[in-house]
Structure 1
Amino acid sequence: MHPSTNASLEAGSNTDISSKKIEAGMATPQTIDVSNEAQNTESEAPAPVPLLSDTRLYIIGLGIWISLFLAAFEITVVATSLVDITSEFQDFNRASWIVVVYLLTYNGFLLLSSKLCDILGIKSMFLAANLIFGIFSVACGASKNMTQLIIFRAFQGIGGGGIYCISFILMLSIITKEKLGTFSGGISSVFAIASICGPLLGGVITEKATWRWIFYLNGPGVLVSFTILYFAIPDINQVKFNRQMLSRIDFGGGFLSVAWSILLVYALQEGGAEYPWSHSIILGTLISGIVGLFIFAGYEWYIARKSSVIEPIFPMRLLKSPAFTYLILTTLCIGVPIYVAIIVIPQRYQIVNGVSPIRSGVLLLPMLVVSPVMALLPGLALKTYWRYVPYGLIVGGLFSVAGSAGLGTLGYSEKIEAKAYGFLVLQGAGMGLVMPIGVMLVKFVCGPKDEAVALGAQNMTRVLGGLIGLAIGTAILHQKVEHELPGVLSPEQLQALLKSPRILATLQPEQLLTVQKVYAKSYDLQFNMAAGFAGLGTIFAALTTYHILQLMKNFDVEALFGSLGVKKDLEENRAEDEKKTEKS
């Protein structure tokens, strides 16, 4: 199936607006002190931004939704068009790269895009991400051969990843607590809707027109969103580009953050699918990705200690906060049931129950409807019950455990049982609570100067968690198929089945029944695995909540979601909590 920035302001003194002005309806964008050394730059503090009208906020929300939908839509839309694309280029062997290369750059540039918001400004980076995505979408449609398409898809993924992470940063930088629930619900609905609409619309477009329009249609869509965002978004932390600004960019850290994540994502995507897990390519990229992660961490630690100018892509000081560390671990684990549900449930309906692709999408509505509705609740609770919001992370985790465990008990049935819809409701409730609360809690556990990169790290770990879950799920499926079906299907049929379920239409009734039962067992095991990760995530959620409650003892919600700043007492609590952790 996851803050405005300012380089020259200190957290805690980021605005000149008094509490009386806050009550009168004025707010300023949140600011981030990217480093002590950055105070020597020539950038100036932006003027306070008035509280935006409801109309303007919803217009911006529409622009964000369109951008985010197009970026998420591109992950799945090509799935039903691969045969037509590869047939035209006579290059079926590289079909998987059309999907994989987008995911590689999409996830690889999340952290870098978030950090660049600190230096270049949120509005500039968001518009640039939209522009990159739109230009290379059109370029994909105009590709003359497979090599061109793969290269253009890689650049399209860079823009898509930027849109994904900056959307959350932008949302937190312009809205107050009263609107947070509405925006969270809308944003949460994007991914579920895109995951269902992608394959369906991809098939319709390919059948009625040509696969090239899958990419061409992004052009007008990006034009609409770009226009809305350009005129509606206020100038948040806009700075003039100069050599001094360039010297602050951590190019080495940026390269390493992209390299390790691309290697790791490639191994998770291709292991057990294109190559067996024991293949040298998979082992090499997997080990290189893990080693690269440690090299990246060491390099960032070195830069933070030795450099007085360069701003680390990921400040390692964030991991000194137990609340943030446990929040990241929660996000990683909960990403598994989210992605497994969105991807596996439609497959189960089609293969085990024999429903059409369109109906399999419609049957996901219990989850898709409940998720955005539940996402509204944390934002509404901020008005009067904000101290209880962190507990929602635990509740969401428990919903995910119950939903995943329930979906793991369905077994084989010719018809879809009614209880499946109830489990989907639980799954949607968990997804709807965990995602927006996770974003909100970044404001609780991180200082303003670290919010953008913290959100980027959270988004990256959610995607990685999902990919880990899908990789394990694929391994489970292959293990069941390869061990239980050789006596039922020929070797050629087995290989064809692992590549595409279309072969089911050619099987004899008794063969089909056996295959459906084996797949049902596989899907049950996959959801049992997802329930295990959800349970582990719930434990981490409880630890996250405990440490956040320690920070909230003297907490003023208006200081955080009213003026969009952080009061000094919260910073002191956070520092005291970190000192206790270091001593222990």
Structure 2
Amino acid sequence: MTGDVQGTDAAVASPGPAPEGQVHGSVLVSIGALLLGMLLAALDQTIVSTALPTIVSDLGGLEHLSWVVTAYLLASTAATPLWGKLGDQYGRKKLFQTAIVIFLIGSALCGMAQNMPELIAFRALQGLGGGGLIVLSMAIVGDLVSPRERGKYQGLFGAVFGATSVLGPLLGGFFTEHLSWRWVFYINLPVGVVALAVIATALHIPRRSAQHVIDYLGTFLIAAVATCLILVASLGGSTWGWTSPQLIGVAVLAVVLAVAFAAVERRAAEPVLPLKLFHIRTFTLAAVISFVVGFAMFGAMTYLPTFLQVVQGISPTMSGVHMLPMVFGLLISSTASGQIVSRTGRWKVFPIAGTGVTTLGLLLLHQLDENSGTATMSAFFFVFGLGLGLVMQVLVLIVQNAVSYEDLGVATSGATFFRSIGASFGVAIFGTIFASRLGDKLTAALRGQQLPAGLDANALKSDPKVIAGLPASLRPSVLHAYASSITDVFLYAAPVAFVGFVLAWFLREDRLRGSVTAPDVTQTLASNPVERSSYDEVCRALSVLGTREGRREIYEKITARAGYDLLPAASWVLLRVKKYGRVEPGVLAERSPVPLNVVLAAARQVEERGLATREGVDLILTDRGREVAGRLAKAREESLAELLGDWWGPDRPTDLVQLVEELNAELCGSDAERPHDGEVKRPRGGFA
């Protein structure tokens, strides 16, 4: 899977963005439109959960509730690799516009759905477009900005996911309570239209095509296998008996399709999921643990709003507020764990602790009932989110560390792919357990009771709002039936999380490569397996490291590495003169964040050492100065190459060499870096 290789290579090969860290206004507008597209897809993963209880009351079909979420997850997961490669072949702008249109059509149809089967079908269509929005928006950034700037702008996409994880439940609850649940879907329309208009007018990227052999058959087969298994898990024992011909037939079909998938992937030129990755123990274990995390996270997020609204009697809007402790716990621990691992190189404690705390969180959630207080619920939600965050960031990171450069991109998306499949299973299986337990418990609670006319267990299952009209003597037992049915699913999920805890102990803590850094928040919160090339993954990591290091220390390090005793600012000045041929120190200070006195002291030193001479007011390099500046640039390139570890071997690929050279030119020649201790400011101009 090399979905973005062509786009990013093109960005390196062409002038593209403005020099010296500046970005043209049209590019900023385009990135804003891309962020709107990402917002649509990200918001739709979280906004629906708080509306689900109301949707069930309106449309009925409680037993199919989980498929409202599952259909979207499955469709977006299966479509993601196709969007990436089709964008390479036919142009990302047109494909991105197509994805928005598909998403908006799906959103409009979801808002107009009259029954649960219609809503599920339209959610699948919406997910088909959503997968394209996520992967193409990330890829287009590579077409618009240089490698050095890319990490910063991809960070904005991470911020969008972080914000939607908080805003989604709140907005979903607000629209449901004050307008209609249908506005959960209609709200996408104006945002999407604005994004379409801006992209049509402001987004200008060169049309380049890269020939790929798209693994259509492999993509179809793996989606079909997942769908069959989810059908068995969600319909077995309820709609279909465990020994029914339908269930056995679907199970056998899943096995046949799985065998066919394995055969196809062995022969595919560009397999959607290369089987050789499973020969790497770390990848296999991380894939299973990713499945567990997705299972627990999305399963819980789907049914916690039902617990809050139906059992606790909390409004849809406030149910979103009550879920914030889980989101904050996830964000805090995922950010902290990713940064700690990137800086210390030690990671094994986090998947162990994360799966252990997640198991504990599920057991705590099982303790909730209709009498639980807000403080108790918030504490339990926070613990659960904390556990998920501890393990989610690290799984992507350790997978990247375990594979060769050629498999870096596909392994990264593969880890997220299994989380997506786990999410689909979790939501479906949680839904089956909930519906089955609720029917039994409501029947038991109402047995022997004098019920109002037309009211029975099925009516209470179909419309939870009926509970409010029950006689006071009946209401407590019905609420308890709902509460225990929901919390039972957390008890059943705890052993699954515990399996992840056991497996985490078998992970081998290999030494972390210098170029492996904490992944984007998108890879933590997104369910979609965002497909980026190996080139893009290394580009992101080196950009993050370069930005983090972009201070006086850069010039101290490269000066020492080159074997010179120069002021850091003097090395900086030499590289500036090397880049532009001649510079005037006063103008250099004016157009950079470096104070005039620091520039003048540096200029004086390079003149005294015979590295530069004056020609009028300008500095030009002497022969000795050109030699020193060349060695300084080479020292920076070597320091970047060192971070790549064994990826920078004798057989290193051309695109990796190209990336290091491009980043080296940017890092060694950027006014945005400061070889002094003053405040960093954005440079006002360059020396074009």
CA contact (8 A) 1:370 1:429 kept: yes
| Residues 1:465 and 2:422 are matched in the alignment | yes
Separation in 1 of the partners of 2:320 and 2:514? 47
Q: 3-state SS of the aligned residue for 2:103?
A: helix
Listed as ranges, the matches of 1:488-527 within 5 Å are 488-489=445-446, 493-527=456-490
Structure 2: tracts of 5 or more residues without a match: 449-454, 518-537, 545-640, 653-688
Separation in 1 of the partners of 2:5 and 2:172? 37
CA contact (8 A) 1:134 1:218 kept: yes
Distance 1:53 1:391, change over 3 A: farther
> In structure 1, what is the equivalent of residue 261 of structure 2?
296
Superposed CA deviations along residues 171-223 of structure 1, whole A, max 9, x for unmatched, are 8996777788775464245345435533542454338xxx4x55443232123
Question: Letter of the aligned partner of 2:209 in structure 1?
Answer: K
| Residues 1:239 and 2:208 are matched in the alignment | yes
Distance 1:77 1:232, change over 3 A: farther
Separation in 1 of the partners of 2:112 and 2:539? 50
Distance 1:164 1:489, change over 3 A: farther
> In structure 1, what is the equivalent of residue 316 of structure 2?
357
Q: 3-state SS of the aligned residue for 1:206?
A: coil
Aligned-pair distance for 1:312? 2.0
Distance 1:257 1:99, change over 3 A: same
Distance 1:555 1:159, change over 3 A: closer
Q: 3-state SS of the aligned residue for 2:179?
A: helix
CA contact (8 A) 1:137 1:218 kept: yes
Aligned-pair distance for 1:519? 3.4
Distance 1:542 1:352, change over 3 A: same
| Residues 1:322 and 2:322 are matched in the alignment | no
Q: 2:377 aligns with which of 420, 437, 445?
A: 420
CA contact (8 A) 1:333 1:534 kept: yes
Q: 3-state SS of the aligned residue for 2:270?
A: coil
Q: 1:159 aligns with which of 129, 154, 167?
A: 129
| Residues 1:445 and 2:402 are matched in the alignment | yes
| Residues 1:531 and 2:456 are matched in the alignment | no
| Residues 1:67 and 2:40 are matched in the alignment | yes
More divergent stretch after superposition (474-483 vs 146-155) = 146-155
Q: 2:298 aligns with which of 321, 339, 354?
A: 339
CA contact (8 A) 1:108 1:259 kept: no
CA contact (8 A) 1:189 1:372 kept: no
Aligned-pair distance for 1:250? 2.3
Separation in 1 of the partners of 2:256 and 2:152? 44
Aligned-pair distance for 1:569? 0.7
Q: 3-state SS of the aligned residue for 2:376?
A: helix
CA contact (8 A) 1:114 1:453 kept: no
Question: Letter of the aligned partner of 1:476 in structure 2?
Answer: I
Separation in 2 of the partners of 1:537 and 1:167? 32
> In structure 2, what is the equivalent of residue 388 of structure 1?
346
> In structure 1, what is the equivalent of residue 361 of structure 2?
403
CA contact (8 A) 2:39 2:161 kept: no
| Residues 1:454 and 2:411 are matched in the alignment | yes
Separation in 2 of the partners of 1:157 and 1:494? 33
CA contact (8 A) 1:300 1:314 kept: yes
Q: 3-state SS of the aligned residue for 1:510?
A: coil
Listed as ranges, the matches of 1:536-575 within 5 Å are 536-544=499-507, 546-547=508-509, 549-550=510-511, 552=512, 561-562=541-542, 567=644, 569-570=646-647
Aligned-pair distance for 1:158? 0.9
| Residues 1:259 and 2:227 are matched in the alignment | no
* Larger RCO (alpha carbons 8 Å, 6+ apart): 1
> In structure 1, what is the equivalent of residue 632 of structure 2?
none
CA contact (8 A) 2:230 2:428 kept: no
Question: Letter of the aligned partner of 2:5 in structure 1?
Answer: N
TM-score, normalization by structure 2: 0.62
Tell me the percent identity: 25
Structure 1: tracts of 5 or more residues without a match: 8-28, 32-42, 304-309, 576-584
Superposed CA deviations along residues 520-558 of structure 1, whole A, max 9, x for unmatched, are 3333432233332222223334444x25x24x3676768
Distance 1:512 1:85, change over 3 A: closer
Separation in 2 of the partners of 1:416 and 1:497? 25
Separation in 2 of the partners of 1:434 and 1:484? 35
Q: 3-state SS of the aligned residue for 1:419?
A: helix
More divergent stretch after superposition (321-330 vs 97-106) = 97-106
Aligned-pair distance for 1:562? 1.0
Separation in 2 of the partners of 1:176 and 1:110? 21
Aligned-pair distance for 1:391? 4.2
Distance 1:351 1:527, change over 3 A: same
Aligned-pair distance for 1:396? 2.8
Question: Letter of the aligned partner of 2:496 in structure 1?
Answer: F
Question: Letter of the aligned partner of 1:373 in structure 2?
Answer: I
Q: How many residues align?
A: 518
Listed as ranges, the matches of 1:117-132 within 5 Å are 125-132=95-102
Aligned-pair distance for 1:467? 3.2
CA contact (8 A) 1:64 1:167 kept: yes
More divergent stretch after superposition (192-201 vs 416-425) = 192-201
Distance 1:162 1:539, change over 3 A: farther
Question: Letter of the aligned partner of 1:318 in structure 2?
Answer: L
CA contact (8 A) 1:101 1:153 kept: yes
Superposed CA deviations along residues 100-156 of structure 1, whole A, max 9, x for unmatched, are 654542343244445556666766655543342134434666789999877655432
Q: 3-state SS of the aligned residue for 1:528?
A: helix
Aligned-pair distance for 1:159? 0.7
Listed as ranges, the matches of 1:277-296 within 5 Å are 280-296=245-261
Distance 1:147 1:487, change over 3 A: closer
CA contact (8 A) 1:330 1:541 kept: yes
Aligned-pair distance for 1:61? 7.6
Question: Letter of the aligned partner of 1:493 in structure 2?
Answer: D
Superposed CA deviations along residues 262-316 of structure 1, whole A, max 9, x for unmatched, are 333444455566656665545543442343233212211133xxxxxx4222222
Distance 1:202 1:171, change over 3 A: farther
CA contact (8 A) 2:334 2:390 kept: yes
Distance 1:144 1:83, change over 3 A: closer
Distance 1:165 1:195, change over 3 A: farther
Aligned-pair distance for 1:335? 1.3
CA contact (8 A) 2:366 2:491 kept: yes
Aligned-pair distance for 1:168? 6.8
Distance 1:148 1:355, change over 3 A: closer
Separation in 1 of the partners of 2:500 and 2:41? 26
Question: Letter of the aligned partner of 1:402 in structure 2?
Answer: L
Q: 3-state SS of the aligned residue for 1:477?
A: helix
Cα RMSD for the two superposed structures: 4.6
TM-score, normalization by structure 1: 0.71
